[in-house]
Structure 1
Amino acid sequence: MSHTPHSCIDAKAYRPDIDGLRALAVLSVVAFHIGLPGFGGGFVGVDIFFVISGFLISGLLRQELLAQGRIDFKAFYARRIRRLAPALALVLAVSLALAYFVMLPDDQIKLGREVRAVATLSANHHFLKHAFDYFDSDADLKVLLHTWSLAVEEQYYLVWPLLLWGVFRLSKGNRHVTDLRMRLALGAVLLGSLGLSLWLSYRDTPQAFYLMPARAWEFAAGALLALLPPPRGGRRLALPIAALGLALLLASIALLNERMVFPGVIVLLPVIGSVLFILAGMLDPSNPISRRIGSRPWTSIGLLSYGFYLWHWPLLALGRYWGLGERDLGRDVLLGGVLALALAWLSYRYVEQPLRRGQWRKLRDTKSTLWSGLGITLGLWLLGTVAMYLPKHFPWPGQQSILQAKRDAFHFVGDCGMPAAGVPLSPRDQCLIGAPGAPLKLLAWGDSHTDHLMPLYDALAKERSIAILRRVYHGCPPLADAMPVGEGKKRSWCPSFARAVRAELPQLAAQGVTGVLLNARWNSYTAQDLPGRPAMTGLVAAGLEGVPSVSGGMKAGIAPLDRASSLQVLEQSLDRSAQDMAGLGLKIVLVLPEAEMSKSPPECVARLGAAACNAPRADVESHRLQIVQLLQRVAARHANIRLWDPLDQFCDAKTCFASRDGKVRYQDKDHITASMALTLTDSFRPSFDWARNAER
């Protein structure tokens, strides 16, 4: 994202309309992140910045080449360091300091990794791996998510000046040939990158969103505008071009939304709009629209755009984290709007401006700036490393009650992991619970909801002197012929893991295994809005071989990845599984959904009190009704299935309790504590005994 507030000032002719365009871009991004109505497409502000950046910096590089016959790469990167690094380092340091008092140690570890990724200009790759979908509601709590755009821009400028210099050298200094070849090079970058962006958008949307090669065409569009001569006699066209450009930008900001495939084709709207608006200012800077956008207070906000962008997201994310992951418009406006703008002014006044005037001795000349940049990079990397280890050992004392509940979990002994590809399965002897050396009688198969019942399974297995094989993959349903799709990802590892488990069932049955304990958070795979978050993932039929060809741009909740289709795939897959297991003489205990909370109980109870964290039983039952009915239908068709419903252990007639008798029952919104799992022993024992006995 272009965050060089003075790059247009550094040019020979100051372009106030571009500072005004910066203001439009940053305000749209901030409004979108805050959640203000009417800004559903505000995220395109980043695309506007990319175009501005390409226009300004490529124009300056061309001027330098033609005037001096070379690019002073050291000076170029020193300028980038002065403009970006000090303010960024300040925001990162303040964010880490605030996070110590707001975030839990495990999340501070993640933040430390984010800081290290920012320091190494790889934040976009980090979030591609750890955030999947930029529009996922979980992204609200990733404090440095917005730095992906800084990484994209800096990666682009590690390559682009070298390409321009190469074109100039091949042209042997001939101005006409240089301009022509630069335009051809830019055109090739634009077309190639745009083609890649469109291809990835409908195949693997997060890659199209986060990766520099898929975004390079936006910089190239601005750069091409800077290198092309404006049309002759175009002054009279300035006003209609400005009007069309502004209309495209405003339409993008108001009408686009995160449910659409993005970047995709629709990203052309803000990019073309930005190019047209900048072109209008080139043709006639005095046209009414450019003049209005280039007036105060637009230019004032434009000058603060870098700091405003840097500050607003960490403040929003930390505020929402403290607010139990929920958005609050009033709080978010104060933090991400008012406070962020005030901090942007302070950092502009006391960091960016002194740097511009050369008041920082260590950043005054090229050599010292480059060394300082290296020092800042190493310092931030070390700061991130400290944040990954220090809070775990020295957490803020105010978090103790929360951490106590979080630690109340089953700790599995053994190297029973979850390989990235789903296979191979871990050795069985590393995945056993229950009585040591006892005969293997049951298989516990599912996702993290199977794991949170492990204390219950382990206690009953020891009580009955048997062993249980754990086959668990978090985020994957125990379905061999269905694949979760959503958040810009198709989880191909899930059917791979499930098929491997299915393949070992005959051997397990032959060795004396009599039953399968099946539990998963079914709603999370069936395109339903979950407590506190919108639908993110649905199911598609996958067969028993290969990976189905589905668009990476599919959105959960929108056909064909909608609720009805996902439920149908789930029901058909469970029917096939039940049939397969019946043929092997295996019984199935299907666990009905446990109660889920809308707020994470450990944090909620500590901050708001127990009563504020409970959920009405009617809401819980409504939320799980369709899954319960589906599982009941499947059980009615197969004699080898028994259902177990734990809901009465969580709720009385009216209320489902987040805590009881001073004891928090959940680790988070949907995972119960080990202590709570053990309270279910008496209720589950009949189903457990039915599954472990060979008789029907």
Structure 2
Amino acid sequence: MAHGGATGSAAEELIQRGYQALSATDRRALLRPYQDNRFRDDVQGMRALGALLILIFHLWVHKVSGGVDVFFVVSGYLMAGLLLRQAANGGRLRPIEFWAGVVKRVAPAAYLVLLCTLLFGYLYVPAPLWRTVIDDLLFSALQLENLHLMRSGANYLDRHMPPSPFQQFWALSMQMQFYLLLPGLLGVALWLARRFGSRWPLLLVIGGGALLSFAYGLSATEANPVRAYFNPLARLWEFLVGALLALALPLLSGPGRRLSLALSGLGLVLLLGTGVLVPRDMPFPGVAALLPVLAAALLLYGGARREASVIQRLLSTRQLVYLGGVSFTLYLWHWPVLVFMLHLHGVDQVNLPQGLLVIGLSLLLAILTSLLVETPARRIPRNHPWRAFMLGVLCLMPVFALWVGGKHVILDRLRMAEQGGESRGFFTGSRISLQDNARSVSLARFMGVKRDISPAARESCDRGMFSAEIILCTFGDLEAAPLVALVGGSHASQWEPAFSEIGRRYGFRLVTIVMSACSLGYQPVASRSEDCRRWNAGLLPVLAALRPNVVITTATRSFSPGRADAVEFVPDGLVESLRKVLALDIPVIGIRDNPWFRRDPSACVWQNPARASRCARPMQEVLLVVNPARALEERLPGFHALDLSHLLCVDGRCPAYFEGHLMWRDRDHLTRSFVHYMASAVQAALEAQAPVLPRRGP
């Protein structure tokens, strides 16, 4: 007890001495190293390089570049430095003034880009994408786009959507969320620093926060890389590394000339090489994000000396400094210009001339925005923060008004599409045909095609690709005793409307057991393999308990060119799982996989209503001449291959439109209404190729 009391007294004495020391001098002396307001041209050059990397990789490389991560580190460095100077020169933090400065810097350009993107989006974005665009507009305007993408990116129903012209706002949203948090975090650290009379609490609070965020980011990336990429908590450490440098660099003597050159050179190599060194399929952020963050940190520290090295002189060239000054608006403009270019030319990636045109237009718009919009807004005096907030509200109002009007129109059209219900009648032909005139498809149908989804694929029956939960949903003849199980991923569940209709005719219940991005015995993506493995492990006991009369699943896999070595194949894991199901004395029907498209088929039909056949995909690119699942019928007694490709392709081409129906809701999933329309044709194919479904007697 005496020892504990002595320790407590010593701690109190230390704090009291710290207070006495601070009061004897000026408490602001603690922050005196942060009073320097030296402008670093090389930091602007770093921002310019980050912006150029983003443009190049978005246009032609299509993988992580590290440019956004550099933006995050630099933002943390600059904004933490601004607040520290504020506290050092004024004795306290002034968060209202800080946030007002952020608003007048960000709001005019950001909301101008939002407004112009929405107006031009009406001209260039196909109607099937309007609902997504209008939702993205709201979340971008509220600086919540990253959280919106966390939800939709992890939602398998949305993951194959073409890019939204507002998608780039995820990075700005994350920055704004950090700016909202930073004064409070620094305020706590400053309070502790003054209480203990030391700068160590500043470093410990910010450094500890960075470590905690990095650890969380590793865990989140391993569990769900799609969500982690947009998760502010998983990326917070990148900002805090910049803030930590803003705290540490003024306390350190700058590196020597040779060390400065070595560190800056290494940083520049890592920055330019991140996109090359990080594999395309490597989960990000995770460990991979250390490369661009380390690159930015090395460049910031290497340039801390007064005498610039050759690297700092390179980064401080007039051209790069100017480009760094407009990098924010360049980043905002390049994405909608790119998306509109893709829609205008009907391609999924731009060539070199088109890409250079995107860069030129984006740079021109960024310069005009900087001159005509940003520069006047910066003249608002710092001592009148309410004017900056009023400017932000005035910028938001027209965007919000357009969102309200656009949302009302879209919802009204979607209600019209839903009132149409399922298609009347059924297709009774033997195969589909290529058709050109798609003018009969209403605007409401185009706008609602993304939600023309099988009930078995919705969240109540399929939790998505990151859940191993086994869910049973029942369709067909709900009162019948015979049972048929539809098992697999989304390419199996999309056929539910046809099998439900057949179940009502034949007299059987249809039970769906599905998991998106997974299927019976197949684990397509390494980052999701554990959930898929768990789902498959729990599937066999469920089937053994259900004892269905027949199991229906997908038997082959097809991909877009370049995604797999083979155009179409039977997965090895599927064969082993089929043996286990057949061992339960349950017959299996294996459906041949459907083709994939390079770009959104329904958007193509919208753009070519009089020549819908232009949207057809060559069959040889996505399917083999002979169904590879046929070979399993001899190897696995009780297995029956079902080939429905004649209902999806004809004369070597796979169309996007047939008899008033949009066939595809995205690049590789059929619409519910088309599948329902094909029920009789599917029934005929079953009776010819796999006549094992239970049916009531005459």
The residue aligned with 2:371 is 349
1:131 is aligned to 153
Secondary structure at the aligned position of 1:66 is classed as helix
Matched, 1:338 2:360: yes
Q: CA deviation at 1:28?
A: 0.4
> 2:64 touches 2:275 (CA, 8 Å); kept in 1?
yes
| Contact map agreement 1:87 1:352 (CA 8 A) in 2 | yes
1:31 to 56, 63, 68: 56
* Alpha carbons of structure 1 residues 366 and 491: separation in structure 2 relative to 1, 3 Å: farther
- Quote how far apart the aligned CAs of 1:154 are: 2.3
Cα distance in structure 1, aligned partners of 2:380 and 2:448: 51
**Which residue of the partner structure matches residue 682 of structure 1?**
684
**In structure 1, what is the Cα distance between the partners aligned to 2:182 and 2:397?**
25
Q: Secondary structure at the match of 2:692?
A: helix
Task: Write the deviation string for residues 443-501 of structure 1: whole angstroms up to 9, x where unpaired.
Answer: 4444444454445435544554x24424164625553x665645x54683896599479
- Which residue identity is paired with 1:517? I
User: Contact (CA 8 Å) 2:551, 2:587: kept in 1 or not?
Assistant: yes
Structure-1 residue corresponding to 2:424: none
Q: Deviations over 1:546-579 (max 9, x none)?
A: xxxxxxxxxxx9xxxx999992222212221222
Q: Which residue of 2 aligns with 1:516?
A: 551
Match of 1:181 in 2: 201
Mapping for residues 473-484 of structure 1, pairs under 5 Å:
473=514, 475=516, 477=518, 479=520
| Distance in structure 1 (CA, Å) of the matches to 2:353 and 2:476 | 47
In 1, the alpha carbon distance for the partners of 2:351 and 2:134 equals 28
1:163 corresponds to which residue?
185
Q: CA deviation at 1:83?
A: 1.1
Q: CA deviation at 1:209?
A: 2.8
Residue 544 (structure 1) aligns with? none
Matched, 1:492 2:531: yes
CA distance in 1, matches of 2:161, 2:199: 43
Question: What is the identity, as a one-letter code, of the residue corresponding to 1:109?
Answer: R
Do structure 1's residue 12 and structure 2's residue 37 form an aligned pair? yes
Counterpart check, 1:417 vs 2:460:
yes
User: 1:285–1:291: 8 Å Cα contact kept in structure 2?
Assistant: no
Q: Deviations for 1:333-383, whole angstroms, at most 9, x for unmatched residues?
A: 156412211111121111111111239xxx982123235545656765665
Unpaired runs of 5+ in structure 2? 1-34, 418-437
2:660 & 2:192 partners in 1: Cα distance? 76
Please give the alpha-carbon distance, in whole angstroms, between the structure 1 residues aligned to 2:457 and 2:278: 49
Letter in 2 for 1:577: V
2:644 match: 646
Tell me how far apart the structure 2 counterparts of residues 211 and 172 of structure 1 sit (CA, whole Å): 33
In the alignment of these two chains, the number of paired residues is 627
User: What percent identity do the matched residue pairs reach?
Assistant: 24
- CA deviations over 1:369-423 (Å, ceiling 9, x no partner): 2355456567656654544442343599999567657879687699993253575
Q: Name the CA distance, whole Å, in 1 between partners of 2:319 and 2:57.
A: 20
Deviates more, 1:347-356 or 1:50-59: 50-59
Letter in 2 for 1:469: L
- Of 512, 515, 527, which aligns to 1:471? 512
Do 2:616 and 2:655's aligned partners in 1 also have CA atoms closer than 8 Å? yes
Compared CA separation, residues 180 and 664, structure 1 to 2 (3 A):
closer
Most deviating of 183-192 and 672-681:
672-681
1:457 pairs, out of 499, 505, 511, with 499
SS in 1 for 2:571: helix
More displaced, 347-356 or 187-196?
187-196
1:88 to partner: Cα distance: 1.2
**Residues 575 and 413 (structure 1), Cα distance of their counterparts in 2 relative to 1, 3 Å cut:** closer
Instruction: List per-residue Cα deviations over 1:105-124 (Å, max 9, x = no partner).
Output: 55322233323333443322
For the residues of structure 1 that align with 2:594 and 2:143, how far apart are their CA atoms? 43
1:3 corresponds to which residue? none
Quote the residue 1:527 is aligned against. none
Are 2:563 and 1:534 equivalent residues in the alignment? yes
CA distance in 1, matches of 2:205, 2:93: 17
Give the aligned partner of residue 575 of structure 2: 571
**Matched AA of 1:603:** A
TM-score, with normalisation over the residues of structure 2?
0.77
Residues 80 and 457 from structure 1, CA distance in 2 versus in 1: closer, same or farther, beyond 3 angstroms?
same
* CA deviation profile, 1:110-162 (whole Å, cap 9, x unmatched): 2333233334433222212212499x994761333322222222222222222
Q: Provide the residue aligned with 1:636 in structure 2.
A: 634
CA distance in structure 2 between the aligned counterparts of 1:416 and 1:242, rounded to whole angstroms: 50
Question: Counterpart in 2 of 1:539?
Answer: none
Alpha-carbon distance between aligned partners in 2 of 1:139 and 1:260, rounded to the nearest angstrom: 21
The superposition leaves residues 165-188 of structure 1 with CA deviations (integer Å, 9 ceiling, x where unpaired) of 2232233388xx453331232322
Contact 1:20 1:301 in 2 (8 A): yes
Does the residue aligned with 2:264 lie in a helix, a strand or coil? Answer: helix
Q: Do residues 195 (structure 1) and 197 (structure 2) align?
A: no
**Structure 1 residue aligned with 2:380, among 342, 347, 358?**
358
1:588 equivalent in alignment to 2:579: no
CA RMSD of aligned residues (A): 4.2
Q: Which residue of 2 aligns with 1:297?
A: 319
Q: Which runs of 5+ in 1 are unaligned?
A: 1-9, 525-529, 536-556
Q: Does 1:227 align with 2:225?
A: no
Partner SS for 1:242: helix
1:220 is displaced (CA, Å) by 2.5
Q: Distance in 1 between matches of 2:690 and 2:512?
A: 17
Equivalent-residue separation in structure 2 for 1:424 and 1:251 (angstroms): 43
1:215 equivalent in alignment to 2:235: yes
State the partner residue of 1:619.
Answer: 621
C-alpha distance in structure 1 between counterparts of 2:602 and 2:371, whole Å: 41
One-letter identity of the residue aligned with 1:534 = R
Q: Distance in 2 between matches of 1:388 and 1:171?
A: 50
Question: What residue is the counterpart of 2:298 in the other structure?
Answer: 276
Q: Distance in 2 between matches of 1:110 and 1:407?
A: 11
C-alpha deviation, 1:75, in angstroms: 0.5
Q: 3-state DSSP class of the match of 2:281?
A: coil
What SS does the aligned partner of 1:686 have? Answer: helix
Contact 1:141 1:320 in 2 (8 A): no
Q: Is the 8 A contact 2:567 2:622 kept in 1?
A: no
